[in-house]
Structure 1
């Protein structure tokens, strides 16, 4: 029996599901963010040091387009998959295999065009994992425990981001070895996550046959039902993540070019910053979900977190010195911890159609992928036009607008 359908009087908190989500998320997040935020820019710096800012922006633009299309299609196909391994597992395993292949190929490419092609294929592979993993919350989490289960996902988000950077910072001068380490992480964590979730066969399940406009709607963002709150959540999340990745996408260059540190000192600064993010992020992620379940305050917690993130991302404008990045790390760690611990519960609550959970949650969480590439595009534009300093207040303004959008949601308290 699905955990969502059990009698509410006898429900126990689904710890296996929570830890399965935690490890499943870490399986793709640690390798992705470690490579995307540090090793990939380091490789580009080796290949084309004079064009690195523009290349990162171009790479992000192409990745954004590919990720958008892949996430929607693969999430929709996952919703309609029937197999002896369930509807999510086949896609997650296929994504695991194909991301490992693209990581290996990344160690071999030596041209800018090769990096762009490889990273585009990686986005297709990665999104086979992203949408189905988060859909386990809608599939299996009892409504009364969604905040708590979402907190496991939030803890994973706040472990994955700094740990990926901490590991990657040790391999800035030995990029290929770092990629191999991340490949091992991906295998181990993903397999543990799938075993814990234990999603079994769904043979015999009924999948509605789609024709005409129904077929089109299954593979596009929702256009019917209560979609107002859904899109407020999407764009609020997009602004939050974009503001974060205005800094994250260029954090190596911020220390080297804006704060004038050498590569070795920058690596040390990145490690300190990541440690601060890890401690504050995990601490606040651990308390966010239980607080949301107790006080029923999903919307307010997400909005407050977005404002705190805005203060953090604006801090480096005060002084081109490492202490401002450490202030950013402290504030944004607290913000991301609280935000990520309740964000998925908010997303599940605004879904227009539960039958399209993976596809629609994939679109909400596409804001993660899009934000991670849109942020660097915004940053590159501002750096080229006005220098590094102006991108920090711009990120703060984006967070303020994002908080307003979240507060406009009506059907979630």
Structure 2
């Protein structure tokens, strides 16, 4: 077998069960740690530090901050949607000594960290346009980490191990998802407002580590021996087009996941305001309960994540578990609406955390199994990532609309988010080719 043939075999885009008798645990660890180190800083900014900084700049929480957050989320997510697909496609055709994915992951961690420092330096209304530009740049650069990192699981995991490896990945993702706001909460203080800026710089250090740590652990092979593609019109179309043949389940998974993420993101984006405006807590108290909720969510999710993936492999079902996780999210989301005390946020964390543990560990396996062509894994997973970026667009917009329609109140948003999560469960159950 020639060098090119060997490289093509290594980079076939998938691994069969026969070729991989043992689970590639190191791939789960590499992608999980990488996810933790990029997602925690992002969530700390998006969920806690950005709302707190903008409220300080604009003179308090209210419609102006809501509208700006909605605009910021919309612009950033539009940029993210486009760049995820483009970057994912480019990694599929990248040829380098470090492999297809590693160069992008390394560059993305460095550039994103630099922009985060820039965000921390914006402290007045006159420079909000800079804040907006920098946030859009973050959405671009962070996808240089996200798109290739997820594709590594598809590249190097056999079908029978996907639930297990997705569970390992999910542990890191969950810690980042819910630990990020916990870290962000430590930098909220009525007595020292400038502490928020310190939070941006601290989280930038975590982001900077994400690429190198993931690259060292996964040790991607060189892709220089892979056949190079002449970048003509046909290759361009094949690389960047949205799949149509045999892709119905991909789009059901996409929109089902998006509905679930809208519910989660809608809760996360406004959690500061649920506590302050909805329940009357001050900033310091809100920060403490956000941290407590994050810990509760993280603990329950971490308990259920490593269990759910192997259970999914054993039962040979993905969509039923993902749909069940959406139901749990809906139940947790509505609790603070009926019990309007700060401690209700912790109860949300417990119940939604169980749902998150199931969702994050099984959903990634479901995503891989609805791909119409594994050779274009990074690009098609980038399309599926629109479920995340679409939620970033729609959750603040839906929240702002509901806030205005419901008489300037935050709490009635919660039942609406519960219904949206249930719609996501129904769409996931409509998937046909995955059990």
Show the counterpart of 1:148: 164
Any idea what SS the aligned residue of 1:101 has?
Answer: helix
Show the counterpart of 2:421: 399
Q: Are residues 1:410 and 2:421 paired? A: no
Show the counterpart of 1:60: 73
Show the counterpart of 2:140: 124
1:324, distance to aligned residue in structure 2 (A) = 2.4
User: Is the contact between residue 81 and residue 385 of structure 2 (CA under 8 Å) also seen in structure 1?
Assistant: no
Structure 1 portions without partners, runs of 5+: none
User: Is the contact between residue 249 and residue 372 of structure 1 (CA under 8 Å) also seen in structure 2?
Assistant: no
How far apart in 2 are the matches of 1:189 and 1:69? 22
1:138-189, Cα deviation, whole Å (9 max, x unpaired): 1101221011111112112211122111111011231121112112222334
User: Is the contact between residue 17 and residue 158 of structure 2 (CA under 8 Å) also seen in structure 1?
Assistant: no
1:96, distance to aligned residue in structure 2 (A) = 0.9
How far apart in 2 are the matches of 1:392 and 1:24? 32
Q: Kindly tell me: are residues 275 and 5 of structure 1, through their superposed partners in 2, closer, same or farther at Cα, counting changes over 3 Å?
A: closer
Q: Kindly tell me: are residues 208 and 254 of structure 1, through their superposed partners in 2, closer, same or farther at Cα, counting changes over 3 Å?
A: same
The one of 269, 272, 275 aligned to 2:289: 269
How far apart in 2 are the matches of 1:367 and 1:209? 32
Q: Are residues 1:240 and 2:260 paired? A: yes
Structure 2 portions without partners, runs of 5+: 1-8
1:367, distance to aligned residue in structure 2 (A) = 1.2
The one of 244, 250, 264 aligned to 1:230: 250
User: Is the contact between residue 259 and residue 321 of structure 1 (CA under 8 Å) also seen in structure 2?
Assistant: yes
How far apart in 2 are the matches of 1:77 and 1:8? 29
Q: Kindly tell me: are residues 217 and 6 of structure 1, through their superposed partners in 2, closer, same or farther at Cα, counting changes over 3 Å?
A: closer
Show the counterpart of 1:20: 30
Show the counterpart of 1:175: 196
How far apart in 1 are the matches of 2:238 and 2:16? 31
How far apart in 1 are the matches of 2:295 and 2:26? 28
Q: Which of 97-106 and 181-190 deviates more?
A: 181-190
Show the counterpart of 1:384: 404
1:215, distance to aligned residue in structure 2 (A) = 1.9
How far apart in 1 are the matches of 2:393 and 2:316? 32
User: Is the contact between residue 289 and residue 341 of structure 1 (CA under 8 Å) also seen in structure 2?
Assistant: yes
Any idea what SS the aligned residue of 1:352 has?
Answer: coil
1:210, distance to aligned residue in structure 2 (A) = 5.3
Show the counterpart of 2:222: 201
1:202-229, Cα deviation, whole Å (9 max, x unpaired): 1121244454355234223222x21100
Show the counterpart of 1:216: 237
TM-score scaled by length of structure 2: 0.91
Any idea what SS the aligned residue of 1:8 has?
Answer: coil
Q: Which of 45-54 and 326-335 deviates more?
A: 45-54
TM-score scaled by length of structure 1: 0.96
1:376, distance to aligned residue in structure 2 (A) = 1.8
1:190, distance to aligned residue in structure 2 (A) = 3.2
1:117-150, Cα deviation, whole Å (9 max, x unpaired): 1101111111111110000011101221011111
1:372, distance to aligned residue in structure 2 (A) = 2.9
How far apart in 1 are the matches of 2:374 and 2:241? 15
Trace 1:245-260 onto structure 2 (pairs within 5 A).
Answer: 245-260=265-280
User: Is the contact between residue 289 and residue 343 of structure 2 (CA under 8 Å) also seen in structure 1?
Assistant: no
Q: Which of 41-50 and 87-96 deviates more?
A: 41-50
1:256, distance to aligned residue in structure 2 (A) = 0.8
User: Is the contact between residue 382 and residue 391 of structure 1 (CA under 8 Å) also seen in structure 2?
Assistant: yes
